Structure 1
């Protein structure tokens, strides 16, 4: 068997897989930054009744 050829084929496939994962990561980050990162999130204030009575 030609182990050198097999090694380089494997290395090329691993590089392809990393490229696919990196592209997916970049697209996900871009969508997150372009969109509303927390849809439906509302900020409310809670009145502390103990503080007002002092």
Structure 2
């Protein structure tokens, strides 16, 4: 007969570890975002007008 208690604890511990890892990565990326410089915004010119009628 399977040891359900052992199975449960194994699964619970692994899920808990993964959640902690995800939280750490989230914190790290938030810190990276907050410490980064303001992005340089570049205006791109349109090559063609999408509203132009296509000749048939």
Say yes or no: TM over 0.5.
Answer: yes
How many residue pairs match? The answer is: 41
Say yes or no: does 1:6 pair with 2:7: yes
Q: CA RMSD in A?
A: 1.3
In terms of fraction of residues, the more helix-rich structure is 1
Instruction: Could you tell me which runs of 5 or more consecutive residues in structure 2 were left unpaired when the two chains were aligned.
Output: 43-56
Q: CA deviation at 1:12?
A: 0.1
* TM-score, reference length from structure 2: 0.67
Q: Deviations over 1:4-27 (max 9, x none)?
A: 110011000000000110000000
Runs of 4+ displaced beyond 4 Å: none
Distance 1:41 1:20 in 2: 33
Instruction: Could you tell me which runs of 5 or more consecutive residues in structure 1 were left unpaired when the two chains were aligned.
Output: 43-54
